[in-house]
Structure 1
Amino acid sequence: MSTHSPSRFAVLAFTGIIFLFTFVLMLPISSENGHFTPFPQALFTAVSTICVTGLSVVDMATHWSVFGDGVIFLGLQVGAIGVLTLASILGTAVTRKLGLRQRLMAASDQNSLRLHSGPVAESQAVRLGDIPGVLVTVAVSLVIIETIIAVLILPVLLLQPDYGPWWVALRDAFYYAASAFTNTGFTPNAEGLAPFDHNLWFLVCLCTAVFIGSIGFPVIFALTRWVKTRQRLSVHVKLTLTTTVILFLAGWIIIYLLEFDNPETLAGQEPWFAPFTAGFTSAMTRSGGFSTVDIASMNDSTLTVMSMLMFVGGGSASTAGGIKVTTIAILFLAAVAEAKGVQDMQVFRRRIPNDVLRLAVAVALWGATIVAVASISLMHITGTEFKYALFDTISAFATCGLSTGLTQNLPDTGVYILTATMWLGRVGTVTFAAAVASSDRKQLYTLPEERIIVG
């Protein structure tokens, strides 16, 4: 693979941006007390921001100054757009045209199948001809959706007693909107969501922003085009939306059934509001990161279910993390095809090629390996229980931001472990593997075939 490949460029550029933000956040101007922020805390915050994760090892509402909050807000936008897409947009702005290199970079950011060398079939979910429209969708949707959400929740903040001057409410409205749409989960006020934990309007607005951000920019682009031209929706769009809705509803029902009698969570709320809280929690496991209940007080069975939902995450080329909903859908379709004795995976009257299955298996396997290694390392370093180490590790890998409280009390070694986990989760296991692989070497022969026993 060439050193100029999109995958290696993504890794290098992404890492470079992280260290730039780390340096800025270490400066006294970025902290409220005017002191230098230690490197581990600044690095973790920068990674959590650029990776749109939402985990923190400092109090995000009180530690950072107005300047620091501005840096973090900018980092959320960079992380949401994606490094290669951002590079394509900047290149287009400079050259006044969208060249082939910019198209290829943006296409690689939207579709992992383009990271490998060689020809790519134009039956991809995102064609090169669609890239200009996708880039416009990324930039426009980021501005419009965050602005709409900020305007919708601003009255709630203004009517909140003792919230502060109007400009603070305005700033926090845009902060909340950006944090929701980018699926980060940072809160700008010291009380977090506590003042709004029963405000249906506020919470529904956050859920809406999280959902839109988690389905992916290619899906947003396709839906926008469908509204205008009624052009047929691709299998990727249908599979993303279908799987997302199924996982959300399943999570909603299961979380409610597991927690409705827990006095520390749902049983302590009004009977009419407890189902909504279960739905809100299910939505946040898509990678939203907001929470209105104490995660550590949930039953072990609930934490396990939430860990599974977080590991899946949201849609491809979205602001969400995880192995992606289409990955788990492809694995399920492969299992169904095998059970039926059908050679090809089929869905929505279309056939899914086998290279997509190979990529799905690779993503799931690498993701599980990263989570396992990080969880075991945290258990060894902190002596914490497996359920807490696993939950926070998956939250870091899936860039979700929900926490049992373990992350806030980690030693520096544990901070570095979760930092690396977030980095790998956002860079993408496929991107990282393609970056370090030497795929330029072509094998010009085929070895003899021999079957092995599986299962």
Structure 2
Amino acid sequence: MVRAAAQTGRRVVRRAPGILNRFQHPAQVIVVGFATVVLLGTGLLASPIATESGQAAGLLTALFTSTSAVCVTGLVVVDTGTHWSAFGEWVIAGLIQVGGLGIMTLATLFTILVAGRLGLRARIFAQAETKTLSMADVRHVVRKVVVFSLVCEAAAAVVLTGRFLLGHGEPFGRAVYLGVFHAVSAFNNAGFALWPDNLMRFVADPWICLTIAAAVIVGGLGFPVVFELLRAWRRPGRWSVLTRVTVGVTLILLVGGTLVFLATEWDNPRTLGALDDQAKVLAAFFTAVMPRTAGFNSLDLAGMYPTSWLATDLLMFIGGGSAGTAGGIKVTTFGLLAFVIWAELRGEREVIVGHRSLPQSTQRQAISISLISVALVAVSTYALLALTPHSLDQVLFEAVSAFGTVGLSTGVTADIAPAGQVLLVLLMFIGRTGPLTLGSALALKDRTRRFQLPEERVIVG
């Protein structure tokens, strides 16, 4: 090899094997980063000082809670406000913040602050996490993401603190604590609450419900969409396809979900039936927002009709916007698939969205994400049915909620067998990192086919 190198005039450099060389693909680093934070959070929550009783929590309980927080889900097997101490609750809030911003976003920020420069590999990693469209603006985007997140959380915390202080008689210190915790949980679409009934006690309080709903919507739109709306909110004609699809589908789902819950639960004495008309509209809107994927609830989900569970399943599966804190297959994926179907029904060769042609690679990615997600939910639901005595609609609700990183539950999460809870942990992790991200992280290298085979048409349908 030395002789061959000397003859060609090239210098041969051997890289020492190590952890950094094992994970060359950005998706691999993202998955490993999230897994590392989950394990770190598990260790902190498993310590005796993390619980109110002073006794160490079980390993599965700590792992489940840590995964739910890092993956900004909100599913719990113990009551957050009574089981965990103040230290444990701050650990959960910190894990939510890290999971919401993204491991690579924080790592890129630290690189900028310490080194004052951003290397090519760090730019690639940050681009994969923030889903920016240009590597040149990664540094600027990361700064904007962090600052914007903190500003939104601070604004929500101020409103919530004032309401808890003035409207519900909480002491100042407690009001600040509740305001900050729930602002972080809401903006990052986590759904963790510090009351046993989540937010049911505030079902008719517009200050609490609308503030949390607004934080959930803004955090779930996705940072690229939010930044573009801030720049050109008066000029919708100049919006990108991403922003048009995200905003359009989001409005349709919010309005449609609100109307569905109003029509379905209007006379249900366990949900909307006991409220006045104004509170019914507020509660229905709040319930339509949360499957985006926040996980807060102001109504008793266990008391809902099965038809409302099915509607919630669909909303949870779709989720929120890309490059945001929401989960699911994303509203952009759902919207693009609708355009693909419309083009196929019209017999058009190209898929047109907003006077732009949709690349075939994007179409394949949307189809792949959707089918992989359906398969994961179906297999997980089957496994949970075999492991638990609960009904199909309850088990399906839990599986979709975990995969969509939502956190809504019909109240059976704590009753699921340990094997089923481990399965939910895996679903939450996969739902946060993304099916295609996880698949590419496990791939050793990209494969390029250097030949093209003859086509053959196959009968479909």
Q: TM-score, normalised by structure 2?
A: 0.92
Q: Are 1:6 and 1:84, in contact at CA under 8 Å, matched by a contact in 2?
A: no
Which deviates the most, 65-74 or 193-202?
193-202
Question: Counterpart in 2 of 1:114?
Answer: none
Is the 8 Å Cα contact of residues 134 and 221 (structure 1) preserved in structure 2? no
Counterparts in 2 of 1:59 and 1:218: CA distance versus 1, 3 Å: same
- 1:322–1:398: 8 Å Cα contact kept in structure 2? yes
Contact 1:295 1:404 in 2 (8 A): yes
Deviations 1:417-450 (A, max 9, x none): 1111101100100101111224433221112211
Is 1:218 the counterpart of 2:224? The answer is yes
State the SS of the aligned residue for 1:186: coil
Cα offset, 1:190, TM superposition: 4.3
Which whole-Å CA distance do the structure 1 matches of 2:66 and 2:425 have between them?
Answer: 9
Paired amino acid for 1:158: L
| Structural mapping, 1:87-236, within 5 Å | 87-111=107-131, 126-161=133-168, 163=170, 165-226=171-232, 232-236=238-242
Offset at residue 223 of structure 1 (A): 2.3
How is 1:410-425 mapped onto 2 (pairs within 5 angstroms)?
410-425=416-431
Equivalent position SS for 1:308: helix
Describe the superposition over 1:167-206 as per-residue Cα deviations: whole angstroms up to 9, x where unpaired: 1110110001011101111112445323322111111101
Q: Which residue of 2 aligns with 1:24?
A: 44
Matches within 5 A, 1:365-376: 365-376=371-382
CA apart distance, 1:3: 2.9
CA contact (8 A) 1:110 1:316 kept: no
Contact kept? 1:85, 1:106, Cα under 8 Å: yes
In the alignment, does 2:439 pair up with 1:433? yes
Q: Residue 29 of structure 2 aligns with which residue?
A: 9
Measure the CA separation in 2 of the matches of 1:433 and 1:453: 29
Supply the distance in 1 between the matched residues of 2:169 and 2:197 (Cα, whole angstroms): 12
Alpha-carbon contact 1:182-1:319 (below 8 Å) kept: yes
Distance 1:440 1:195, change over 3 A: closer
CA contact (8 A) 1:2 1:440 kept: no
Q: Are the equivalent residues in 2 in contact too, given 1:313–1:325 (CA < 8 A)?
A: yes
1:69 alignment partner in structure 2: 89
| Larger relative contact order (Cα-Cα within 8 Å, sequence gap ≥ 6) | 1
How far, CA to CA, are the matches of 1:220 and 1:95 in structure 2? Answer: 29
Q: Which amino acid aligns with 1:51?
A: C
Aligned to 2:16: none
Task: Check conservation: 1:137, 1:220, Cα contact below 8 A.
Answer: no
Deviation at 1:338? 0.4
Separation in 2, partners of 1:92, 1:101: 13
Partner SS for 2:352? strand
Question: Does structure 1 retain, via aligned residues, the 8 Å contact 2:204–2:282?
Answer: no
CA distance in 1, matches of 2:300, 2:195: 18
Does 2:58 match 1:38? yes
Please give the secondary structure, in 1, of the residue aligned with 2:99. Answer: helix
Alpha-carbon RMSD across the aligned residues, in angstroms, is 1.8
Query: Of the candidates 245, 266, 288, which is equivalent to residue 294 of structure 2?
Result: 288
Q: Is the 8 A contact 1:172 1:189 kept in 2?
A: no
Question: Partners in 1 of 2:444 and 2:369 — Cα distance?
Answer: 18
Match of 2:339?
333
Specify the code of the residue in structure 2 equivalent to 1:38.
G
Q: What corresponds to 1:387 in structure 2?
A: 393
**Aligned amino acid, residue 86 of structure 1:** L
Provide the rounded CA distance (Å) in 2 between the counterparts of 1:241 and 1:130. 23
Q: Counterpart of 1:244?
A: 250
Unaligned runs of 5+ in 2: 1-20
Deviations along 1:121-150, whole A, 9 cap, x unmatched? Answer: xxxx62223322321221011110000011
Q: Give secondary structure in 1 for the equivalent of 2:191.
A: coil
State the secondary structure of the residue aligned to 1:440: coil
| Range 319-328 or range 346-355, more displaced | 346-355
Q: 1:362 maps to which residue?
A: 368
- What does the per-residue CA deviation read over 1:90-138, in whole Å, with 9 as the maximum and x for residues that have no partner? 2222211123222211111133xxxxxxxxxxxxx62223322321221
- More off after superposition, 408-417 vs 280-289: 408-417
Q: Distance in 2 between matches of 1:7 and 1:335?
A: 30
Distance 1:197 1:89 in 2: 38
Match of 1:56, SS state, is coil
What is the alpha-carbon distance in structure 2 between the residues aligned to residue 79 and residue 439 of structure 1?
Answer: 27
Contact 1:25 1:46 in 2 (8 A): yes
Provide the C-alpha distance between the structure 2 equivalents of 1:137 and 1:394, rounded to a whole number of angstroms.
32
Q: C-alpha displacement at 1:232, in angstroms?
A: 3.7
Paired residues of 2:200 and 2:299 also in contact (CA < 8 A):
no
Other-structure match for 2:265: 259
TM-superposed deviation, 1:159? 2.9
**Deviation (angstroms), 1:34:** 1.0
Q: Which amino acid aligns with 1:42?
A: A
- TM-score relative to the length of structure 1: 0.93
Task: Read off the aligned partner of 2:162 and give its amino acid letter.
Answer: P
Unpaired stretches in structure 1, ≥5 consecutive residues: 112-124
CA distance in 1, matches of 2:130, 2:347: 33
Q: Which amino acid aligns with 2:153?
A: E
CA separation in 1, counterparts of 2:345 and 2:235?
Answer: 39
Q: Is the 8 A contact 2:30 2:104 kept in 1?
A: yes
Q: 1-side partners of 2:112 and 2:146: how far apart?
A: 12
How many residues align? The count is 441
Structure 1 vs Structure 2: percent identity of aligned residues? 37
